Amino acid sequence: MANLKEIRNRITSIGSTMQITSAMKMVSAAKLKKAQDAITQMRPYAEKLTELLQSLSASVDVNAGGAYAEEREVSKVLIVAITSNRGLCGGFNSSIIKGATNHIATNYAGKEVEILSIGKKGADILGKNFNVIERNTTIFDNLTFDNVAEIAQRVMDLYLAGTYDKIEVIYNQFKNAATQIVQIEQFLPIEKIEGGANTNIDYIYEPSKAEIVLQLIPKSLKTQMYKAVRDSYASEHGARMTAMHKATDNANDLRNDLLLTYNKARQAAITNEILEIVGGAEALKN
């Protein structure tokens, strides 16, 4: 059994760890509320905009703005992987890294795949096995639509230039503080709605369908990317809050066990000292 000093040092160390994990939990909880409100409010808008875009793109000529929906033979793929810059958030980052690796191995075996990483963790791990063309680690310092739109525009330009035949986004979708769902979405080409109920409705477009699509496509794609980053941001804080809550509870249980061990060891030491005193007193009598 460890001596009393070692146990006291371990109890002190665990107490310090509890203070850190508890503080991190409270910080993430505060950030989560704002991030959750942001993604909850924008998700219906983004989904409806994407649905409208898919419906319009299905009936627009490629030269009139449907180049983003042009289907090509897939030989080179870009995966936009969204992770976090820091750890201590449970399986948040590892689920994206594992999901991306398995997805590439299953669907793009023998094809050229490159990574655009949003978040340091994804770039560090995925960079060991894939070519990372860009590492963006500053986006979460100032998460605005304009900053994300710059990334989306670069990705769109790469597709139009023919650099990649397909572009996908992998991220954690926020469900609640304890649950994040790995999502893999096709970014480009735009997926068309086939056989949808609204495809035969005769809308009146003003000024014209082609011009509307020309303006709507870039906005919709940037909104889709922004939604993915926002989802990931909320998921990160939810995962970190949950992880730090569990870490604090585990540290508290461990500290209680050590306190019990310390008290038993201290009681045993006192008992031994009493026995030695009594034994010494009996020896003096004799």
Specify the residue for token string 């009146």: 204
CA atoms of 64 and 213, how far apart (whole Å): 8
Active site residue 70: no
Q: Decide if 96 contacts 182 (C-beta within 8 A).
A: yes
CA atoms of 63 and 104, how far apart (whole Å): 31
CA atoms of 61 and 39, how far apart (whole Å): 33
195: left (phi over 0), alpha (psi -120 to 50) or beta: left
Task: Give the CA distances from residue 208 to residues 17, 204, 215, in Å, rounded to whole numbers and listed in that order.
Answer: 62, 8, 11
Count other C-beta atoms under 10 Å from residue 118's C-beta: 27
Q: What's the token pair of residue 54?
A: 């898919």
Helix orientation angle between 145-160 and 209-285, rounded to the nearest 10 degrees = 120
Q: Decide if 21 contacts 250 (C-beta within 8 A).
A: no
Q: What's the token pair of residue 70?
A: 């042009």
Q: Which of 18, 89, 149, 151 is catalytic?
A: 89
Count other C-beta atoms under 10 Å from residue 271's C-beta: 10
Cis peptide before 207 (omega within 30 of 0): yes
CA atoms of 127 and 123, how far apart (whole Å): 5
Give the active site residues. 89
